Amino acid sequence: MAKRELPKHVYRQRNGIYFQRRGWPSQKFQSEFGTPEFWAEYAGILKQKDRSRVVVSRNFGALIDSYRKSPRYKNLKPRTGLDYDKHLDFFREIMGETNPAKMQRKDVIRLRDANAEKAYFANYSLRVLRVLMEHCVDLGWRDSNPARGVSEIKTVKKDREPWPRELLDAFRATCALGTRERLVMELCVGTGQRIGDVLNMRWSNIEDGAVWVRQSKTSKELWVPILPELQTALDAASRHSVFLLTNERATNRWSYRGASAAVRKVREQIGALDYDIHSWRYNAACELLEAGCGDDLIASVTGQSPAMVQHYTKKVRQRIRAVQAQQMRTEKSR
């Protein structure tokens, strides 16, 4: 399609047709060019000249504001949104007035490498920037995404493992019944759920000696019977809020940041920095396996897929099977 065929201020981009005029917000046409619906859209845009319009500055600050209003951002899971916010705020701080249309692949690589000593932060920033620049393309501010295809920093990934029994005992000895730290640990180990789902648990979710869980990541609904250790912790807990775990004023649920910081203090105190909150989910899966549960029974508690059950229990599973194999080997040699 030749440019002269398009009306004034209308341009063909790689992913569609846009209205682009200095001082006006860029808008993508939803209708096919030449149709009555297209011309109705065009007329509606032009009528905006009679309205009070906000001049949109094409900088990263405006891009981030636009992205946060988009479905792409609003559809993120709450925890993911919090993680994204950290990096979006970081981008605003270091390049808020910069024009994103001028960003090149070399700039993306330079930004990644500037944080190479913090590989997790650098890689997560790259992922968020890739999404943000895709939104920039959608707005018609540029034709391509300079972050697409840029590789992440290679790291040696250390597999999580369940907390050793002695460290769980140390945690219980350090955190008395009635403390939030003790309750969050018993909930994570006892129900095998993610920390986000544990923090969302309410007293009203407890029914017939079990707790109802609707997993935020998978939307699965689970009914998980309460173990004696967890019941003891629940009996000792304060009930000044609808949530099992609350903030200091008991006005809302305990935040992930608050719970993580509190648990980290205990981990530092007992020498358990190699094991984090999510490792408690490994404890649940591995304890179920050691009790003789098959993968389907483990999944009935944790809500995991068969592949994830295998992943979470692979080291314990190997030890159990190795013991069985050597016992069979010994018996055969007799």
Which tens digit of pLDDT belongs to each residue from 177-213?
Answer: 999 999 999 999 999 999 999 999 999 999 999 999 9
223 by DSSP, 3-state: which? strand
Largest CA distance in the chain: 96
Looking at residue 52, what is its pLDDT?
46
Beta-bridge partners for 221? 214
Burial track 173-186 (b if 16+ CB lie within 10 A, e otherwise): ebbeeebbbbbbbb
Q: What is the pLDDT of residues 252-302, one digit of tens each?
A: 999 988 999 999 999 999 999 999 999 999 999 999 999 999 999 999 999
Q: Which residue, among 232, 222, 166, 169, has the nearest Cα to 198 in the 3D structure?
A: 222
Q: What is the pLDDT of residues 17-59, one digit of tens each?
A: 888 877 677 788 888 888 888 888 888 888 775 444 444 578 9
Cβ contacts of 206 within 8 Å, gap of 6 or more? 212, 226, 234
Average pLDDT score over residue span 96-109: 95
Specify whether the backbone of 6 is left (phi greater than 0), alpha (psi in -120 to 50) or beta: beta
Q: Is the dihedral of CA 13, 15, 19, 20 positive or negative?
A: negative
pLDDT band at 87 (very low <50, low <70, confident <90, very high): very high
Measured distance CA(293)–CA(10) in Å, rounded: 64
240 by DSSP, 3-state: which? coil
Q: How far does CA 48 lie from the centroid of its chain?
A: 39
Please state the φ and ψ torsions of residue 213, each to the nearest 5 degrees.
Answer: -130, 130
Spatial contact of 189 and 283, defined as CB atoms under 8 Å apart: yes
Measured distance CA(112)–CA(75) in Å, rounded: 26
Spatial contact of 167 and 272, defined as CB atoms under 8 Å apart: yes
pLDDT band at 6 (very low <50, low <70, confident <90, very high): confident
Measured distance CA(92)–CA(14) in Å, rounded: 27
With tokens 């993580």, the residue in question is: 260
- pTM of model > 0.75: no
Measured distance CA(108)–CA(60) in Å, rounded: 14
